[in-house]
Chains A and B, each alone.
Chain A
Amino acid sequence: MRPVIPYVIGALLFGAGVYGVLRRRNAVLVLMAVELMLNAVNLILVTADTTVRAALPHGGQVFALFVIVLAAAEVGVGLAIVLQLYRLRASVAVDTVRLDAAPASELDEPRVTTS
């Protein structure tokens, strides 16, 4: 087995994820691109576990399991935030979110459709 093949696949998947996070406006698509990046890292961890003889056996696979659990937690909280944003703004475009607005006043605002 040539270790370079899965390593390069993981690197390319990570690049696709970075591109998606920077390119997409829709927050759900940004979350999908983040999942791609997490999967690329998982693939590299599992490949390293298979090809490197470590002091602790199966460390890479254990880390991959931990990353999968973290991804599940991340997507749960992320989707709660996205749905709350949609409830406030009727839009999930990430580049129209004003980060400097006070949160309390935003809750009282009526729904606005951003351009």
Chain B
Amino acid sequence: MTGADVLLLALGAVAVGAGVLVVTTDQLVRAGLYLVVCLGAVAGLYLVLTAELVAWVQVLIYVGAVVVLLLFAVMLTRAPIGRSPDLNRPGLPAALIGGGAGLGLAALFADAFRWSAVDLPAPGTAESLGTELFRSWVLPFEVLSVLLLAALVGAIIVSRPDIGSRP
């Protein structure tokens, strides 16, 4: 057990605990705030795993943008503040499938990697990742920009019924 292992275990416990609270809490706004804790802990995991740029992009886009959008949606759908008793469907099939997927994958990974150790590489900087991105992955990068444009246009059309329903 090195220092990195202890950090990984602690941040992982925070991430999994907050993630479970996101899907079990009875209060909508708190689910969004637990999601912030979970995503922040995952960003910390990225930092320990030497993925510096991914960690900051995670903080910027997920914690900064996606969660704020989700909280906007919670408010725009007039969600009640406080406990909502009607948030859940019957839990047994969901618990079976979700628990089976999570624990099954965990058992698979634990069996594949046992307790082996690897050395962490030197901290990856934005420069090395950017060089690799624009050297080997230029075409997917450009396709993603087209996809973002399509998502933008699609979101506008979906949210304007006077455009979407025109024959």
Report which A residues bind B (CB closer than 8 A).
1-9, 11-20, 22-26, 28-29, 31-33, 35-36, 39, 42-43, 46-47, 49-51, 56-59, 61-62, 64-66, 68-77, 79-84, 86-87, 92-93, 95, 104, 107
Contact = CB atoms under 8 A, between A and B. Distances in A.
Binding site secondary structure of chain A: helix
A12 B102 contact: yes
5 contacts: A9-B16, A46-B54, A58-B129, A58-B132, A61-B54
Contacts of B95: 19, 23
A18 B101 contact: yes
Contacts, number: 269
Interface of B: 2, 4-5, 8-9, 12, 15-16, 19-20, 22-23, 28, 31-32, 35, 38-39, 42, 45-46, 49-51, 53-54, 57-58, 61-62, 65-66, 69-70, 72-74, 76-77, 79, 84, 86-89, 91, 93-95, 97-103, 105-106, 108-110, 113-121, 124, 128-129, 132-133, 136-137, 140, 144, 147-148, 151-152, 154-156, 158-159, 161, 165
Given A28-B28, A35-B62, A83-B76, A5 B124 contact: no
A58 B108 CA distance: 24
Nearest to B60: A68
A28 B148 contact: no
Given A33-B22, A36-B19, A107-B165, A69 B46 contact: no
B56 to A, nearest CB: 11
Contact of B66 (A9, A35, A49, A95): A35
A46 to B, nearest CB: 5
Nearest to A91: B77
A69 B98 contact: no
A14 B86 CA distance: 24
B85 to A, nearest CB: 11
Contacts of B154: 77, 80
A62 B133 contact: yes
Given A8-B106, A18-B94, 4 more contacts: A15-B102, A15-B105, A23-B88, A104-B165
A97 B129 CA distance: 44
